[in-house]
Amino acid sequence: MAFSKEEIAQRIAKEIKDGFYVNLGIGIPTLVANYIPKGINVVLQSENGLLGMGPFPFEGEEDADLINAGKQTITTLPGSSIFDSAMSFGMIRAQKVDLTILGAMEVSEHGDIANWKIPGKMVKGMGGAMDLVASAKNIIVAMQHVNKAGESKLLAKCTLPLTGVNCIKKIVTELAVLDVLPEGGFKLLERAPGVSVEFIRQSTAGKLIVEGEIPEMKLD
User: How many angstroms separate the CA atoms of 210 and 197, rounded?
Assistant: 8
Displacement of CA 198 from its chain's centroid (Å): 25
Q: Which of 7, 47, 109, 174 is catalytic?
A: 47
For residue 138, what are the contacts with CB-CB under 8 A and spacing of at least 6? 98, 99, 100, 169
Nearest to 98 by CA among 40, 162, 56: 40
User: Alpha carbon of 73 to those of 66, 76, 220: distances in Å?
Assistant: 6, 10, 27
User: How many angstroms separate the CA atoms of 33 and 53, rounded?
Assistant: 8
> What DSSP character marks residue 213?
P
For this structure, is 59 an active site residue? no
User: How many angstroms separate the CA atoms of 99 and 132, rounded?
Assistant: 10
Nearest to 175 by CA among 184, 159, 185, 188: 188
Strand, helix or coil at 90? helix
User: How many angstroms separate the CA atoms of 188 and 211, rounded?
Assistant: 8
User: How many angstroms separate the CA atoms of 176 and 200, rounded?
Assistant: 7
Could you list the active site residues? 47
